[in-house]
Amino acid sequence: MMTTSVRFGLVACLVGFLFVACGGNPTVVGGKDDYDAPIGTAGEAPDGGPGIDINVGGEKVYPQEVEDAILGFDEVADCMVFGEKNYLTGNIVCAIVKLKMPENTEGFALRLRKFLRARLPTYKVPVKIKTDDSLAASDRFKKVRQPHE
C-alpha cells in the first residue's frame, strides 16, 4: 500500500510529464521560449517585467541590501534605491534619501558614500544620491523603485 506522500509525488510527476508531452514548456520565462533558462530567473518580476535587482557591469545589486546599509547611517530616516540606465556599465545604483534633519546635499552625499564604501563593494555604492522629503509609494505602501523627478 502506498503512502499519501508517495501518491502525491507520483501524481506530480505525471502532471509534469503530461504538461511537457502536450506541448507545454516548463522554461517559458517572461513570455519567451528559452529552453536553456532555469525555471524562474532570479531577480525577475513574476509578471516578466523588470526585476528587483540592478545589474551593474554584470554584478547583481539588490536594492534592499543597499537600503539596509544606508539606513545604518545616523542622519537617514528612510531611503529608496533603484537602477538607472548607463551606457558604460548597463546600470548604475541611485538612491533617494529622506533625511532626519535638512542639510546640504553635496556634503551629505560625500559623507554617505564614505560610510557605504566601508560596508559595501564599490559597485554597490550609489553613484547618484538625491535628498527628498517624500518617497514614492504604491497604493499598498510599497516603495516604487523607479526614478522620479
Q: Do residues 21 and 69 both lie within one domain?
A: no
- Domain with 68 in it: what CATH number? 3.30.300.30
Q: Residue 20 is part of which domain span? A: 1-50
Q: Do residues 58 and 124 both lie within one domain?
A: yes
Residue 110 has pLDDT above 90, yes or no: yes
- Kindly report, residue by residue over 21-37, the tens digit of the pLDDT: 555 555 544 455 544 54
pTM (2 d.p.): 0.62
- Kindly report, residue by residue over 89-106, the tens digit of the pLDDT: 999 999 999 999 988 888
* C-alpha cell belonging to residue 27: 522554461
- Give the C-alpha separation, 99 to 117, whole Å: 19
Q: Do residues 59 and 97 both lie within one domain?
A: yes
Alpha-carbon distances of 32 from 17, 27, 35, rounded to whole Å? 21, 9, 9
Q: Do residues 44 and 83 both lie within one domain?
A: no
- Give the C-alpha separation, 77 to 122, whole Å: 23
Q: How many domains does the chain divide into? A: 2
